[in-house]
Amino acid sequence: MRRRILFGAVLIAVVAVLAISGTAVAGQPVGDCNAGYTLTKAKADPLADKNGDGWICRKPVGSPGQNPGYNDVDNNSNGKS
């Protein structure tokens, strides 16, 4: 009986630590973007988010007035994309 209680308490503690740390990481970008790029949530292009912070740098490309494509790169701590 004591083992089950101890196991349950440890499991709850591990889940709580993972939930708290995951929330903190997802909220703050790790770095900046170069000039011409805009910091954007990674849901626009999840594959570009190499550092896993939930943010990417996005720049529209193509002719003005047309439906633009985007150049998406990951943000990083030294501001170089």
Task: Give the start-to-end residue ranges of the domains of the chain.
Answer: 2-74
CA 79 to chain centre: 15
Q: According to the model, what pLDDT value does residue 24 have?
A: 42
Q: When comparing pLDDT for 13 and 68, which is higher?
A: 68
What per-residue string of b and e applies to 43-70 under the rule 16 or more CB within 10 Å gives b?
eebeebbebebbbbbbbeeeeeeeeeeb
Q: According to the model, what pLDDT value does residue 62 have?
A: 85
Q: What mean pLDDT value characterizes the chain? A: 78
The pLDDT tens digits for 13-51 are 666 655 555 444 456 788 889 999 999 999 999 999 998
Q: According to the model, what pLDDT value does residue 58 have?
A: 95
